[in-house]
Amino acid sequence: KGRAAIAAEAVTPGADVVIPDIPKSEIVLRLLEAATKDNLLFDMLPAQSKLAIFNSMTPLECPEGTDIIVQGDKDARTFYVLETGSCDVYINIGKDLADGMKKVHRYAAASGFGELALLYSAPRAATVRASSPCKLWVMDRAVYNVIKMEATQSTAAQKCKLLNAVPLLSVLSQEHRDLLADALDTLDFQDGQPIFRQGDIGNQFYIIKSGKVLIIKGPDTKPLAELREGQFFGERSLIRDDPRAADVIAKGKVTMYVLTRKAFEGLLGPYEDMWKFEVLRKVPILFALNETQLFELARCM
């Protein structure tokens, strides 16, 4: 969701962008975390990238009455977190700035603002004025773009590496696997957390990035199977349109790559032979057959 809205900007990797290194105290890190928690700029950013951004933010102090952001400014380069003080948000409701400003909001400490213009490459949507002396932290757009791009690249590389190692997907071309990698979202689960329950409507397909999951069916608490990194589950409901046939529970911390039904149907659904092969591979009586024989059998079904 948020990612699509972020305007792609032409940035040459790392070129002439100096990333300041101003390590923050635990207290300031907590403040920055709280102020950016629900902010679209930070949505889907790995924790490590967020920390790099926080540690790049520079301090700014300004007296009461300072216009920190001016509505209409077309060259927005900064996002702000207010550490102490308060700021008022004004919107000009007339045709030009002389028409008068209407106060629409007040920011207290631990708020973040100035993300809209960066997200949408738009002019500043409002004026933000210090209503008391303020202490702020300033994030630079160019620094953000470099860190965000590096995160995107390393996530893409990790996804491709994992998909290339999934035997089932070896029938796909590299381009096809790249498309698949692109469509995967990342989701974290804590120990004991259900990924889904038996009987649920299934709308997602999962590949385990790291950690383990248990497959548990019926009242029997003994797991049917334990799946680990590179293994997948959840395809059955998508292919057959059946409810989930078992519970799947995180064993320890798990990170999953998730494909929506729509993406699954577009990218993997047409590979009927591949899925039949996968079913046959789990039939004990066919264990003696090699992969080529199993593929032949799947094609005849």
Contacting residues toward ligand 1OR, per CB under 6 A: 69, 76, 89, 91, 104-105, 113-117, 124-126, 128
Which C-beta is closer to ligand 1OR: that of 103 or that of 253?
103
| Minimal distance, residue 33 CB to ligand 1OR, in Å | 18
| Minimal distance, residue 242 CB to ligand 1OR, in Å | 45
Residue 229, Cβ neighbours under 10 Å: how many?
14
Which C-beta is closer to ligand 1OR: that of 69 or that of 250?
69
Which C-beta is closer to ligand 1OR: that of 31 or that of 68?
68
| Minimal distance, residue 76 CB to ligand 1OR, in Å | 5
| Minimal distance, residue 166 CB to ligand 1OR, in Å | 42
Contact 74, 25 (CB under 8 A): no
Which C-beta is closer to ligand 1OR: that of 43 or that of 200?
43
Contact 54, 47 (CB under 8 A): no
Distances (CA, A) of 138 to 13, 99, 133: 22, 30, 16
**Distance of alpha carbon 100 from alpha carbon 149, whole angstroms:** 40
| Minimal distance, residue 294 CB to ligand 1OR, in Å | 57
| Minimal distance, residue 40 CB to ligand 1OR, in Å | 10
**Tokens 């494909």, residue?**
259
**Distance of alpha carbon 61 from alpha carbon 83, whole angstroms:** 10
Which C-beta is closer to ligand 1OR: that of 126 or that of 183?
126
| Minimal distance, residue 62 CB to ligand 1OR, in Å | 16
| Minimal distance, residue 13 CB to ligand 1OR, in Å | 25
Which C-beta is closer to ligand 1OR: that of 35 or that of 163?
35
Which C-beta is closer to ligand 1OR: that of 140 or that of 247?
140
Which C-beta is closer to ligand 1OR: that of 83 or that of 235?
83
**Distance of alpha carbon 208 from alpha carbon 185, whole angstroms:** 12
